[in-house]
Amino acid sequence: MSFAPTSASTDAGEPASKKPKTGDEYFPGVPNKIEYKGPESNDPLSYRHYNADEEIMGKKMKDWLKFSVCFWHTFRGKGADPFGFPTMKRHYDDESDSMENAKRRADAAFEMFTKLGVEYYTFHDRDVAPEGGTLEESNAAMDEMADYLKALQEKTGVKLLWATQNLFSHPRYMNGGLTNPDAHVFAYACSQVKKVMDVNHKLGGENLVFWGGREGYQSVLNTDVSMIMLI
């Protein structure tokens, strides 16, 4: 997911024919499982300090440190910022909004999750499923991807820590989602939240996140400043 404008000179990925196919191995240069090799290890594909099964104060390290991989930064981000164009190309991503591409990204992600030995992942709805022309189309894509993700979870044992909704990237949310003054946008945002809650429950999410990337107010008249100062 990129938040900067695209450029023809930096956004032209490989032809779709050269992209890995669904079911291929996406990271053949990475061991099937990255292992703990101690602080003296010179192997860049090893853990030097994280030993998942080491017991500390009666609990294994993996139970103290429940790492999760964020889908958006790790598998959708393109290295862009507000001042520049994307700088990264994902070899498994043909840049399309097709369901085939969405499933290919999910396959690549779960391969890396298992190789890292990470037990959890997280996502925004639009990270894993493309947005359609209508809410119904978007929900249908989300439902299809939820089934696909559930199968990958069952196959690998990787669990969902939490899901959240993207109420900030689309232009409709330029003035917020759940605080938007337009009732139609507010209703759309509520529908999107409900879908994510349903999908999160279906996938066994252990938590649910509401992140207000564009929520707020445009005037001090929108809030009780004296109350805010006490917080």
Residue 49 is a catalytic residue: no
Contacts of residues 95-102 at CB distance under 8 Å and 24 or more positions apart, as own/partner, are 95/11, 95/13, 96/16, 97/130, 97/131, 98/130, 99/130, 99/141, 99/144, 99/145, 100/22, 102/128, 102/129, 102/130, 102/141, 102/145
Q: Pick the catalytic residue from 124, 170, 184, 201.
A: 124
Q: Which residue type does 231 have?
A: I
Q: What is the pLDDT of residue 35?
A: 95
The contacts of residue 193 (CB under 8 Å, 6+ apart) are 165, 167, 178, 210
Largest CA distance in the chain: 60
- Global pTM value: 0.85
Measured in residues, the chain has a length of: 231
Q: What separation in angstroms does the CA of 85 have from each of 1, 11, 12, 89, 127?
A: 12, 9, 12, 12, 19
- Phi/psi of residue 62, nearest 5 degrees: -65, -20
Q: How many CA atoms lie within 13 A of 228 on its CB side?
A: 8
Does domain 8-228 sit in CATH 3.10.450.30?
no
Q: Where are the domains of the chain?
A: 8-228
Would you give per-residue pLDDT tens digits along the chain (231 residues)? 444 444 444 444 444 445 666 567 999 999 999 999 999 999 999 999 999 999 999 999 999 998 999 999 999 999 988 899 999 999 999 999 999 999 999 999 999 999 999 999 999 999 999 999 999 999 999 999 999 999 999 999 999 999 999 999 999 999 899 989 899 999 999 999 999 999 999 999 999 999 888 887 666 666 677 877 786
